[in-house]
Structure 1
């Protein structure tokens, strides 16, 4: 199994007024960065999106 973080994309691709995806809670810049990011940066993006999801009142677990 790979240690590379998997994309949090859930195929609900719509940016809100704050440039945050309503599906994965990444910013537009983070979505673009994902394709060239190293594993450390991907983990940072995942942590930031998880925090945004939590602040919005949604939790995966």
Structure 2
């Protein structure tokens, strides 16, 4: 069985201004629901994260590798 994909890079700090994790770009609700999402749902959400982070002026993450 393969490990579920995750955008987490271990920088788990929520930006109060945007309510997004500074490391991965997910909201608290998305982080909390992560374990209940199917792999296709996780991948779809991960595809959105680079644009979220870039919109805040942060470097976009490589969603597959979990790093810039």
Task: Tell me which interval the TM-score lies in, with the shorter structure as reference length.
Answer: 0.7 to 0.9
For structure 1, the residue ranges without an aligned partner over 5 or more in a row are none
The separation in 2 between residues aligned to 1:11 and 1:42, in whole angstroms, is 17
Deviation at residue 48 of structure 1 after TM alignment: 2.1
TM-score normalised over the length of structure 1 = 0.76
Q: How many pairs are equivalent?
A: 60
Q: Which has the higher contact order (CA 8 A, sep 6+)?
A: 2
4+ residue segments displaced more than 3 Å:
2-5
Separation of aligned partners in 2, 1:39 and 1:49: 15
Match in the other structure for 2:25:
25
Partner residue of 2:64? none
Q: Which runs of 5+ in 2 are unaligned?
A: 62-67
More strand by share: 2
User: Under a length normalisation based on structure 2, what TM-score does the superposition of the two structures give?
Assistant: 0.70
Distance, in Å, in 2 between the alignment partners of 1:20 and 1:44 is 17
